[in-house]
């Protein structure tokens, strides 16, 4: 497996982060992660191999660990891409907040108008009642 320069790696990471994630991508990332993880599972064998003086055993452990980390990075990039899709931009969240505030303002204005009409009706009733009492008092 050829090693890539850090510049090439960061460029490919940028491309992966900006490309739209697809369900198949996630499945392939999970499968790659699982395939890289499976050789790492028998911990006792790995511990024995890790202490083994034989160089090929050491290379296998390092290769499995590297494969696992690459698969984990791909899955992480996919999940970050999904998170970016779900999280609205600052502008979108401000527009949504403004729309909610406008709706709240409209509702409150309707309530104020309704209560003003009720108050006017009550004032009229009180004035009518007062006029009625004054008329009765003048008669007496």
- Say whether both 10 and 40 belong to one domain: yes
- Say whether both 1 and 65 belong to one domain: yes
pLDDT at 17: 44
Q: Over the stretch 74-126, which tens digit does the pLDDT of each residue have?
A: 888 888 887 777 777 889 899 999 999 999 999 999 999 999 999 999 999 99
Of 2, 77, 81, 80, nearest to 32 (Cα)?
77
Q: What is the pTM of this model?
A: 0.39
- Say whether both 4 and 45 belong to one domain: yes
DSSP letter for each residue of 12-38: HHHHHHHSPP-HHHHHHHHHHHHHHHG
- Say whether both 102 and 132 belong to one domain: yes
- Say whether both 77 and 129 belong to one domain: no
- Say whether both 27 and 81 belong to one domain: yes
Which is higher by pLDDT, 48 or 33?
Answer: 33
- Say whether both 83 and 25 belong to one domain: yes
pLDDT mean over 38-48:
57
- Say whether both 108 and 42 belong to one domain: no
- Say whether both 115 and 74 belong to one domain: no
Whether 13 has a pLDDT exceeding 60, the answer reads: no
Last residue of a domain, one of 54, 72, 87: 87
Q: Domain total for the chain?
A: 2
Domain hosting 28: range is 1-87
d(CA 73, CA 55): 27
- Count Cβ atoms below 10 Å from residue 60 Cβ, excluding itself: 15
Residue with tokens 């452990």: 61
- Say whether both 27 and 70 belong to one domain: yes
Whether 140 has a pLDDT exceeding 70, the answer reads: yes
pLDDT mean over 56-63:
65
């Amino acid at each position: 497996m050829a090693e890539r320069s850090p510049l090439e790696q960061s460029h490919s990471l940028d491309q992966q982060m900006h490309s739209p994630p697809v369900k198949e991508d996630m499945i392939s990332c999970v499968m790659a992660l699982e395939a890289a993880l499976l050789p790492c599972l028998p911990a006792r064998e790995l511990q024995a191999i890790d202490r083994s003086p034989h160089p090929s055993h050491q290379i296998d452990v390092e290769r499995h660990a590297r494969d696992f980390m690459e698969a984990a990075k791909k899955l992480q990039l996919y999940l970050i891409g999904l998170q970016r899709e779900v999280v609205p931009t600052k502008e979108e969240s401000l527009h949504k907040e403004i729309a909610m505030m406008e709706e709240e303002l409209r509702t409150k204005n309707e309530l104020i108008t309704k209560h003003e009409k009720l108050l006017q009706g009550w004032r009229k009733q009180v004035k009518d009642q007062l006029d009625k009492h004054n008329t009765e008092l003048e008669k007496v």
